[in-house]
Structure 1
Amino acid sequence: MQFSLVVEGRPLPAAQPADRVPWWSFTKTVLAATALTLVRDGLVELDAQLPEGPFTLRQLLRHEAGLADYGELSEYHAAVARHEAPWSAADMLQRLDATRLRYQPGAGWGYSNVGYLYVLRLIERTTGLTLEQALQQRIFAPLGLTQVRLAASTADLHGVCLGDICTYDPGWVYHGLLVGPLSEAALCLDRLLTGNLLPDELLQAMQTARVLGGPIPGRPWVSPGYALGLMKGGLANGVSLCGHTGAGPGSVIAVYHQAQGERTASCAVFAAGADQGAIEAEMVRQLAASLAADEQGSPRA
């Protein structure tokens, strides 16, 4: 298990090698932030209907658009396990019958990678740039991130720590897969939530969550929720965290931010396997210990 910490805006020295790892669904947080820069600049509206269907950007970002998810398809998992070439996006959408909404937009909740494929398309359509170019211009450069990149082919995963598998085709992640050091994942979230990339009203909107029920067995959340590209959950001790957990073949990642009074910390944890609860528990432990040490004037190394 590897981890990286940012406390009070200061990256702490890493105890592990600076491996590049797949960011899995933390990529959604980056996509959401990119889309919100378009809102900031007056190029799109959070609550205007989109060409892809009778839903809004806010509903896409919060998984309230009524869309299905290709993770529901058994043939998807079988094709990935057989190391087949990824289907085209059009083929995937047809297999999923994606135009048939599963509930009225805004009236329900359902985690959907398809929704973030539509966010990707919105970003490219609005900026006239490729996704990677738009991310570089609107997120990576402003936040000072230099080692994160978009993986589009198996060659792009050369040198990336994949956990319990040897090969994977990132084309199976239809909204895009970012890879980079854990240190940059922690920095990305910390600078996004504590910096001035987004105005206060959009940062507040980004962190306004739909509450999704009670405790999740085997995981630290007692009041889980989902905001705009951010998981936001409360713990048993009353602490609230926001960030994102992600999982893919062979590994899991959790990247979260905690504010305690005026003190803040962000933590990214990566591990081989599929135990999201274990890395979330480690993330909670690292954040609590780091903020306690910072309060005592002795930041952790």
Structure 2
Amino acid sequence: MTSPDVDLLDTRRLHQFVVAVESETLSAAAQQLFLTQQALSASIRQLEREVDVTLFDRSRRKLHLTDAGNTLYAGARALLAGNTSLLTEVRESARGIVRPFVVGHSPAISGEEVYHLIAPAIASMPHQPITARQVFPGQLQELLFANEIDVALRRGVDSPANLTSAVFAYHELRIAVVADHLLAHRRSITARDLADTPIVVWAPERKSFYTDFLISYCRRAGFEPTLVVNQIQGTPPFTAVRRYPEACAFVTDVPGDLQGGTVRVLAFDEPPLAPVQAMWLPHTHSAVRDAMVSGGGG
């Protein structure tokens, strides 16, 4: 039982605080919340009294967060999203509703790979509906905060702010080229073999962990890669070489011919291993997610 001396945040005031921070003006925030500006100001001051710190620097014409305010805002969105998720789960449980568990994944992880990653959850909970949804990497965190996806999968290792994450699988990378490419006849290749071949990526350097991972792999092999940013999103990575036949693309498909022999996948002598990271809201529980992560991708 919770001690009566434990301080608890008022989530309604916390929500109002977040809206105030994200709005252009306090007046705009009040309008969005269907409050008067005076009522919103009073709510924020009450929140400051509850946490016993000053959240806004009011010495300027526009409101600016203090260091304490920034700290509260940094954790507030995840806390509110977790609160909404729990409330939804409780209400659905009371009604006997089994909601689909939604897995959001970046284009760098194929639908086939997603199925392999969720296989442990399918095996342990065969009656649980699961939906896989491909989204752009930059949207994953926002969709988690909006409770539109339950777990996000991407190529990455860095710990995102205000989310819980785990690297739970590694995929062996290979190279796709068109059938008449200079490298297509090789049984296997090394990283150095790519020195004179452009590499297709789906985001520029420093805009994607996966792109930076591939660049680092090439630089460790002793050359600076030439990148081609693919403008076609959402299709299997190996199809990129049909659009850019002079280039190659890192893929996870098995070695051999694809698309009627028009594309060939080659294995590395020493293949790089690309991590798969799962991200989710902190303070939330999910048997499906636990089965995925503990299963290590099957």
TM-score norm. by structure 1 comes to 0.22
TM-score norm. by structure 2 comes to 0.22
Larger radius of gyration: 2
Give the number of the structure with larger relative contact order, counting CA–CA contacts within 8 Å between residues 6 or more apart.
1
